[in-house]
């Protein structure tokens, strides 16, 4: 097996990840990458090949689906290394980590909770929440954009979508933050227990929320989601949908402030914002890499020999900045035509395309409208080079804060 030649923990991925991926892209279509505590994986950096890998049925996300495979996959190994108890494994059986018929079944039963009708119906409420948060921030004159705006916005939206009672939303938000910052066992167990209790209450008294929809979901054969599957889906939505969108919003604000001519263009024509969201999501995506895939057979992929059982992961960040796909990729162009079905990969591609993409787009659009288009007073309260990030893992760096004046 070829030795790893790169690690996402290298300083260059922290200081200037776009340039780091540009260098790797010039080294070949697949690069051996080292990960802490697990075997090396193939890293894919071109947009064309990342999209192909995410759509290729010869790759699976569950290592147990590789013929002849024995032992835990990368996700299991990383969970064990982080100290997560075995009991949590039951709640990792969500759409992100299943393949084939199992994945199709979960997606079919969960999709009603993300229906276009449901997402459209959420717009007035999301707009109300965003407006109230911006007004509160404006009254103070300054604040921290994540703690005072994007995190409470996405927490409230996710909690209301799932069905978390209003009196419990602050506590759920605290568990979400603790889960991200390292207290995973305690906060994870608390969220599991709360969701289990919520399922029982909604089973007795259904409401117009996702938990109730998942309890009701089924097909003609009587197939339904188990309680463990409902909990797994709720935790996925909380920890993926909330955190990623809470980070996308301040990232997008920075992108727009870094491109004042494009911001002025949107302010002059605010009706263009929905069409500009894909370009903003390309540049401001907070998720750098895709879930690892495993080769189910010996194959040649992108001209490289990949052996059965070897893991491969696509860099979504590298794909979104690929100059072969996006001319002048570092530049924001709110009028850039990405082409239908041929744009950014921030939501992935193929069968695992993010089911919450429409919700993330809705939240992001409304947030940016309130923060930057309906008013022109928002400014950073620190110098641009003083914006601080925190290292989460595997090249994932998140804004720790974004002080602003309004």
CA distance 312 to 53: 8
Going along 174-246, which residue ranges are E strands? none
Q: What is the pLDDT, as a whole number, of residue 4? A: 59
Lowest mean pLDDT among 35-49, 116-130, 165-179, 386-400: 386-400
Q: Which uninterrupted H or E stretch holds 142?
A: strand 142-144
Which letter does DSSP use for residue 184 in this model?
Answer: H
All structural domains of the chain, each given as residue ranges with its CATH number in brackets, are 6-405 (1.10.630.10)
CA distance 363 to 156: 11
Query: At a CB cut-off of 8 Å and minimum separation 6, what does 234 contact?
Result: 162, 191, 195, 210, 211
Q: What is the mean pLDDT of the chain?
A: 87
Lowest mean pLDDT among 42-46, 154-158, 392-396: 392-396
CA distance 191 to 235: 8
Checking if the pLDDT of 394 tops 70, the result is: no
First to last CA, the chain: 55
382: left (phi over 0), alpha (psi -120 to 50) or beta: beta
| Torsion sign, CA atoms 199, 204, 206, 207 | negative
Residue with tokens 């260059």: 12
CA distance 394 to 239: 17
Checking if the pLDDT of 341 tops 70, the result is: no
> Angle formed by the axes of helices 357-368 and 116-140, to 10°?
30
Question: Do residues 345 and 47 lie in contact, with contact meaning Cβ atoms separated by under 8 Å?
Answer: yes
pLDDT tier, 83 (very low <50, low <70, confident <90, very high otherwise): low
CA distance 177 to 124: 26
3-state SS, residue 196 = helix
Q: Which uninterrupted H or E stretch holds 156?
A: helix 151-162
CA distance 276 to 273: 5
Question: Do residues 294 and 73 lie in contact, with contact meaning Cβ atoms separated by under 8 Å?
Answer: yes
CA distance 95 to 103: 6
Question: Do residues 345 and 316 lie in contact, with contact meaning Cβ atoms separated by under 8 Å?
Answer: yes
> What digits encode the pLDDT tens for the residues 43-79?
999 999 999 999 999 999 998 899 987 666 665 665 5
What percent of the chain lies above the pLDDT cut of 70? Answer: 88
pTM, entire model = 0.91
Q: Which uninterrupted H or E stretch holds 181?
A: helix 169-181
């Amino acid at each position: 097996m070829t030795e790893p030649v790169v690690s996402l923990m290298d300083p260059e991925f922290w200081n200037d990840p776009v340039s780091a991926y540009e260098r790797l892209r010039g080294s070949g279509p697949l690069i051996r990458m080292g990960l802490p505590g697990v075997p090396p994986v193939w890293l894919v950096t071109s947009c064309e090949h990342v999209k192909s890998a995410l759509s290729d049925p010869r790759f699976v996300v569950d290592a147990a689906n590789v013929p002849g495979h024995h032992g835990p996959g990368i996700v299991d190994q990383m969970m064990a290394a982080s100290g997560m108890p075995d009991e949590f494994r039951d709640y990792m059986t969500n759409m992100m980590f299943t393949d084939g018929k199992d994945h199709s079944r979960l997606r079919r039963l969960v999709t009603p909770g993300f229906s276009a009708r449901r997402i459209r119906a959420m717009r007035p409420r999301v707009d109300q929440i965003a407006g109230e948060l911006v007004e509160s921030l404006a009254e103070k004159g300054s604040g921290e954009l994540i703690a005072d705006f994007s995190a409470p916005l996405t927490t409230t939206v996710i909690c209301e979508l799932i069905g978390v009672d209003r009196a419990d939303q602050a506590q759920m938000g605290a568990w979400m933050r603790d889960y991200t910052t390292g207290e995973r066992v305690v906060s994870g167990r608390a969220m599991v227990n709360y969701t289990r209790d919520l399922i029982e209450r909604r089973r007795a008294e259904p409401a117009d929320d996702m938990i109730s929809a998942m309890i009701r979901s089924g097909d003609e054969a009587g197939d339904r989601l188990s309680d463990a599957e409902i909990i797994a889906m709720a935790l996925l939505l909380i920890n993926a949908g909330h955190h990623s969108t809470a980070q996308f919003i301040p990232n997008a604000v920075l992108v727009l402030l870094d491109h004042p001519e494009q911001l002025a263009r949107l302010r002059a024509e605010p009706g263009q914002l929905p069409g500009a969201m894909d370009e903003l999501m390309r540049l401001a995506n907070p998720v750098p890499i895709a879930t690892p895939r495993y080769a189910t057979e010996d194959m040649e992929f992108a001209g490289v020999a990949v052996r059965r059982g070897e893991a491969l992961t696509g860099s979504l960040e590298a794909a979104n900045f690929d100059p072969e796909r996006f001319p002048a990729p570092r530049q924001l162009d709110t009028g850039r035509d990405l082409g239908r079905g041929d744009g950014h990969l921030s939501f992935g591609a193929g069968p695992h395309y993010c089911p919450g993409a429409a919700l993330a787009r809705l939240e992001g659009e409304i947030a940016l409208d309130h923060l930057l288009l309906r008013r022109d007073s928002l400014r950073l309260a620190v110098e641009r080079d003083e914006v601080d990030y925190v290292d989460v893992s595997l090249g994932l760096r998140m804004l720790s804060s974004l002080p602003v004046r309004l």
